[in-house]
A and B are shown apart, each in its own frame.
Chain A
Amino acid sequence: EPEVTQTPSHQVTQMGQEVILRCVPISNHLYFYWYRQILGQKVEFLVSFYNNEISEKSEIFDDQFSVERPDGSNFTLKIRSTKLEDSAMYFCASSEGRNYEQYFGPGTRLTVT
């Protein structure tokens, strides 16, 4: 069964550094998403991406975040200058269409020290 994959599973970085989290969505899916979950808290929507551009974003997704689909398979989330409060589990998801079910990856645990 096709699945969303994410790398790395755990990323440790120092405050102020840039990080890139990688995702490979399911191949025939057209919508891509990033969510985050701070330890013990709710899953929060960050951004959705369709047709090579951001289609929707939340107020969390500020200028320090960016997303890109650099080739036909990868979907990346870049955090420009990490802060301690960016420590969280980051989930990538993909779906065939806007109102279709989203398939989530296993997540990348980001730890900012």
Chain B
Amino acid sequence: DAKTTQPPSMDCAEGRAANLPCNHSTISGNEYVYWYRQIHSQGPQYIIHGLKNNETNEMASLIITEDRKSSTLILPHATLRDTAVYYCIVRWKAGGYQKVTFGTGTKLQVIP
């Protein structure tokens, strides 16, 4: 019952930009979109988040469409260490319970 859909896997050449898409068509007006990544079985690592406007930090850029139904995470110059599972996450409530589902994510493989 994830509220986000992502492609299961992507490859990217080292040094190139990695563009990871996410659909979140049922996002509500005041909920943020978050991106995390998980390398092996380590704790998820925060990348970036946004509400409406595009965001950029030292790790990545986040492009959110005007209707907020989808977003794209951009890693501008992918390195081998960026190989990980990338999760796009939104929060919502259903049946009185908070739901935060990481989903199955996109497994990004950076190729030398």
Hey, which bits of chain A sit against chain B, CB under 8 A?
A: 4, 35, 37, 42-45, 48, 56-59, 89, 91, 93, 99, 101-107
B42 touches A107 (CB 8 A): yes
Q: Which residue of A lies closest to B32 (CB)?
A: A99
Q: List 28 A-B contacts (CB under 8 A).
A: A4-B43, A35-B44, A42-B2, A42-B101, A42-B104, A43-B87, A43-B102, A44-B101, A45-B98, A45-B99, A45-B100, A45-B101, A56-B98, A57-B98, A58-B98, A58-B100, A89-B41, A91-B44, A93-B43, A93-B44, A99-B32, A99-B49, A101-B34, A102-B46, A104-B43, A106-B42, A106-B43, A107-B43
Q: Which residues of chain A are near B100, meaning CB under 8 Å?
A: 45, 58
A42 touches B97 (CB 8 A): no
Min CB–CB distance A58 → chain B (angstroms): 5
Q: Which residues of chain A are near B34, meaning CB under 8 Å?
A: 101
Q: Verify if B21 is at the interface (C-beta below 8 Å from A).
A: no
8 more contacts with CB within 8 A, not counting A59-B97, A99-B32, are A4-B43, A45-B98, A45-B100, A58-B99, A58-B100, A93-B44, A102-B46, A104-B46
Min CB–CB distance B45 → chain A (angstroms): 7
Q: Which residues of chain B are near A35, meaning CB under 8 Å?
A: 44
* In the bound complex, CA of A8 to CA of B2 (Å): 31
Q: Verify if B95 is at the interface (C-beta below 8 Å from A).
A: yes
* In the bound complex, CA of A112 to CA of B22 (Å): 35
Interface size class of B (residues with CB under 8 A): 20 to 34
Name the residue in B34, B46, B95, B98 with the highest tally of chain A Cβ atoms < 10 Å from its Cβ: B98
B44 touches A43 (CB 8 A): yes
Q: Verify if B56 is at the interface (C-beta below 8 Å from A).
A: no
* In the bound complex, CA of A44 to CA of B98 (Å): 11
Min CB–CB distance A4 → chain B (angstroms): 8
Per a CB cutoff under 8 Å, which of A58, A103, A104 touches B97?
A: A58
* In the bound complex, CA of A45 to CA of B103 (Å): 11
